[in-house]
């Protein structure tokens, strides 16, 4: 009987201890009143400008949340929190970290995003248990040599910093599963990048990378790769070895040819290769190589000048909300244009060269000052959707009836009399028209 009672007492104590470990204190004073029992403390969004030194008394602390404060530095004594496992310092005003940071030997999750950090201490490489390190939106230009010692890192977020180089020892991060390094200034990747064999998700967007290392083919576990808005001219054949790849974004580069090995990516389901320099023949070839993949080839631009510089490959042009009063005749040079958006400008008419846009499928002219459409509108034989609502139209040309592929026509907010509305309906009996 005594043995049963003892077991029950031990069981109850275990429950109480577990409850205490899971309790999150939100008052520093209450935490100090029970400092031997405090494991979690949340002081986020409390307008702290300095870190209270009394926190160092909480020697059993495992979780500390200081997000959304105004802390600009950490005291040297911060290293006394040796049991700390999770530290959240996002959205503060830190510019550096003390060397004593290396004493946080049990830290597993470190969140430092949206500060003003420009350097990391060399001692950060001593945090052997660190699994998550988030450093998004800081001012880091170079990683310390010791960074390669963080061999237990699984998630690393370096987005929106100022990194121009990754050293060879970056390849030592062999347990890395997710790497986000968008919006830096990288022009290349180290040859050792292929050592990151456990990586599953990789974002290299918005850098200046002009080629991927051949060792890229070693990343066998990679499932999604985003490398848009770089300066890639070609993709290595070894990409075909990434058999688990499901998503591949290479849009907005300078690629003019895809490797034949792409056909080996049998699990690839989404490929974005828009805004590159692929010929139509190359596009058709990729469709055959990847019959089960959703491929986006459409090259879209938000500048007429840039579109004209790439006139042979421009598919979509967005010129809405630009206060345009006229369009140049040169717009007719965009002979492969399929979608054109000109909403909320000050256009009164369309240029004569508009009739050359033979491949145009969608034309949006809503909220302009257009008085009439040209008779040559009928030369836009591919047109399927025409949005010309909220203009100053009172009639449409007879030739609009020649647009046999037109399925949608929006005309509301104009000045059509009822007789004209009936005439338009007869001209386009198979088109969905809204007045």
- pLDDT the model gives residue 3: 58
Domain boundaries, the chain: 20-162, 186-297, 304-434
- pLDDT the model gives residue 241: 96
One fold for both 20-162 and 304-434? yes
- For 384-428, give the DSSP string: -EEE--SS--S---GGGGG-TT--EEE-TTS---HHHHHHHHHH-
Residue 242 to residue 248: CA distance in whole angstroms: 11
Sheet containing 300-301, strands listed edge to edge, beginning at the edge strand earlier in sequence: 300-301, 316-318, 339-341, 362-364, 385-387, 408-410, 432-434
- pLDDT the model gives residue 14: 40
- pLDDT the model gives residue 300: 83
Residue 392 CB partners (closer than 8 Å, separation 6+): 369, 370, 371, 414, 415
Residue 174 to residue 196: CA distance in whole angstroms: 5
Mean pLDDT of residues grouped by 10 in the chain (435 residues)?
A: 52 45 88 92 95 92 97 93 96 94 94 96 95 97 96 97 96 97 96 96 96 94 95 95 95 92 94 88 91 87 89 90 93 94 94 95 95 94 95 94 95 94 95 93
pTM, rounded to two decimals:
0.75
The domain over range 186-297 is classified in CATH as 3.30.70.20: no
The domain over range 20-162 is classified in CATH as 3.10.20.600: no
CATH of domain 304-434: 3.80.10.10
219-242 pLDDT, tens digit per residue, is 999 999 999 999 999 999 999 999
Pair of tokens at residue 332: 């007719």
Q: Mapping DSSP to helix (H, G, I), strand (E, B) and coil, where does residue 429 land?
A: coil
């Amino acid at each position: 009987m005594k043995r049963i009672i003892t077991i029950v007492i031990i069981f109850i104590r275990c429950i109480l201890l577990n409850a205490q470990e899971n309790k999150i204190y939100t008052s520093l004073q209450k935490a100090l009143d029970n400092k031997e029992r405090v494991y979690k403390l949340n002081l986020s969004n409390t307008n702290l400008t300095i870190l209270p030194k009394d926190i160092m008394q909480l020697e059993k602390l495992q979780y500390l949340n200081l997000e959304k404060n105004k802390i600009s530095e950490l005291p040297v004594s911060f290293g006394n929190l040796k049991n700390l496992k999770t530290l959240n310092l996002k959205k503060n005003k830190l510019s550096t970290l003390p060397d004593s940071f290396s004493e946080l030997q049990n830290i597993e999750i470190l969140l430092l995003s949206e500060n003003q950090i420009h350097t990391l201490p060399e001692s950060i490489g001593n945090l052997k248990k660190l699994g998550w390190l988030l450093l998004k939106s800081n001012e880091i230009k170079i990683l310390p040599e010791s960074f390669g010692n963080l061999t237990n890192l699984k998630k690393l977020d370096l987005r929106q910093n100022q990194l121009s180089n990754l050293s060879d020892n970056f390849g030592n991060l062999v347990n890395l599963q997710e790497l986000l390094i968008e919006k830096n200034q990288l022009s290349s990747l180290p040859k050792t990048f292929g050592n990151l064999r456990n990586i599953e998700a990789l974002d290299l967007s918005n850098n200046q990378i002009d080629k991927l290392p051949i060792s890229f083919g070693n990343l066998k576990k990679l499932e999604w790769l985003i490398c848009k808005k770089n300066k890639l001219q070609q993709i290595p054949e070894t990409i075909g070895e990434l058999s688990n790849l499901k998503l591949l974004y290479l849009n907005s580069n300078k690629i003019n040819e895809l490797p034949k090995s792409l056909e080996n990516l049998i699990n690839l389901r989404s490929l974005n290769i828009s805004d590159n320099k692929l010929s139509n023949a190359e596009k058709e070839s990729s469709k055959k190589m990847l019959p089960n993949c959703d491929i986006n080839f459409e090259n879209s631009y938000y500048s007429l000048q840039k579109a004209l510089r790439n006139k042979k490959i421009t598919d979509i042009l967005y010129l809405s909300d630009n206060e345009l009063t006229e369009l140049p005749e040169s717009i007719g040079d965009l002979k492969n244009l399929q979608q054109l958006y000109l909403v909320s400008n000050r256009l009164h008419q369309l240029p004569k060269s508009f009739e050359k846009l033979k491949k145009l499928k969608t034309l949006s002219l809503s909220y302009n000052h257009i008085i009439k459409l040209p008779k040559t509108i009928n030369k836009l034989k591919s047109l399927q959707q025409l949005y010309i609502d909220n203009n100053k139209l009172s009639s449409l040309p007879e030739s609009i009836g020649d647009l046999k592929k037109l399925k949608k026509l929006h005309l509301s907010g104009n000045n059509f009399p009822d007789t004209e509305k009936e005439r338009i309906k007869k001209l386009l009996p198979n088109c969905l028209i809204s007045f």
